[in-house]
Structure 1
Amino acid sequence: MRQAISAMQTGDEAQAVLLLQGLVEAYPDLLSPWLNLGILRLRTGQLESADAALQQALRLDPENPVARHQRAIVLRHQGRFKEALALYQALLAAHPDHALGHRNLGILYDLYLNQPQQALAHYRRYAALSVDEQAESRVWIAELQRRIAAEDR
């Protein structure tokens, strides 16, 4: 597993896939190889296989916040917005301080569901939870507030 993670971190995606495929075949009941294979497939735009790997990860651990979050991103990319919304909501109900869950739910509400008030709430929560990304989220919040104010006129 260490070699696969190292390959992912250095951008050697082909090696990482080979290693992870070997791990899921040899140890189909281990969560980490499925989860990392799903993340890698998402990163390379292979949404169908990313979804399959992440679904398997969720079968092994239905409450896993990383698997829920990554699968919700896959669903969003596939245009399956209602399913993504339900998965984000379940994630945040179980893990209300999951910063990236709030960020990505805000994106879903903002860019795909046209629900700016809901997006704003999640962008604000993300900003409160994520020190490293506050500058980026402040821009999103200001832009969204501007758009909401323009719509109210």
Structure 2
Amino acid sequence: MKRHDTHNMTRGAAALTAVALLAGCAGLGRGDKPEPTQAESAAPAVALPAEDRTAFDEAVAALRAGDNETAESRFAALAQRHPELAEAHANRGLAALRAGDDETAREAMARAVELEPDNAAWQNRLGVLLRRAGEFERAEAAYEAALDADGDYPPAHLNLGILYDIYLQRPQEALSHYQQYQTLAGQPDDEVALWIADLERRL
């Protein structure tokens, strides 16, 4: 395992609502690794007409089946009809990410967090996409927003640590977030322990 941005590492994290956050690793850059498979509740948070609720469920099914192009198209149509539906934007972003379309994924995730800024998982995923685009300051802000929403969300601590360690050269802050990740993760990560030891030797 290399140092990575994790899209939804949820070792011990509470389940999120209203979005299918599945495994996926599409052309990940240095330090990334696949996330574990996890399907969250797919029920939209707002009431939809019966036809659109069926369309939402079908889009989720396509996402779970790995048919990312179909899922992205269907969530895009739902987002156009219901621009207030944050789950449609978030799931569209996930489908686009898994299909290798980072630009669409970033736009969709940015819209999702605009609608629901207190969703730690979506902020974390946006941070990953921004980091991959080389927008390190915006990635930092997204990870911090994830922690503002949930200070005990392990993936945001890990990803912020990686950002500071590898990309921003801020080892002391990286160390702090790695340590917080290890505390919160439930089952400490042996490789993160090696990163911590390496930083402690260098500081």
Q: CA RMSD in A?
A: 1.9
CA distance in 2, matches of 1:72, 1:96: 15
Q: Residues 43, 107 of structure 1: CA spacing in aligned structure 2 closer, same or farther, 3 A cutoff?
A: farther
After the TM superposition, which parts of structure 1 deviate over 4 Å for at least 4 consecutive aligned residues? none
* SS of aligned partner of 1:11: coil
Q: Report sequence identity in percent.
A: 37
- Of residues 73, 91, 110 in structure 2, which corresponds to 1:55? 110
1:56-110, Cα deviation, whole Å (9 max, x unpaired): 1122223222221111111111111111112222321332101110011011001
8 Å CA contact retained: 2:84, 2:115: yes
CA distance in 2, matches of 1:133, 1:25: 42
- Of residues 47, 71, 90 in structure 1, which corresponds to 2:126? 71
TM superposition shift of 1:43? 3.1
2:194 corresponds in structure 1 to 139
Which sections of structure 1, spanning at least 5 residues, go unmatched? Answer: none
2:161 corresponds in structure 1 to 106
Amino acid at match of 1:27: H
Greater shift in the superposed pair: 12-21 or 69-78: 12-21
Q: Residues 136, 23 of structure 1: CA spacing in aligned structure 2 closer, same or farther, 3 A cutoff?
A: farther
CA distance in 2, matches of 1:45, 1:63: 26
CA distance in 2, matches of 1:120, 1:3: 43
TM-score for both structures, normalised by structure 1: 0.84
1:5 corresponds in structure 2 to 60
CA distance in 1, matches of 2:188, 2:65: 23
1:119 aligns with 2:171: no
CA distance in 1, matches of 2:138, 2:180: 22
TM superposition shift of 1:132? 4.5
TM superposition shift of 1:133? 5.5
TM superposition shift of 1:18? 2.4
Flag the structure with higher helix content.
1
Equivalent pairs counted in the alignment come to 148
TM-score for both structures, normalised by structure 2: 0.65
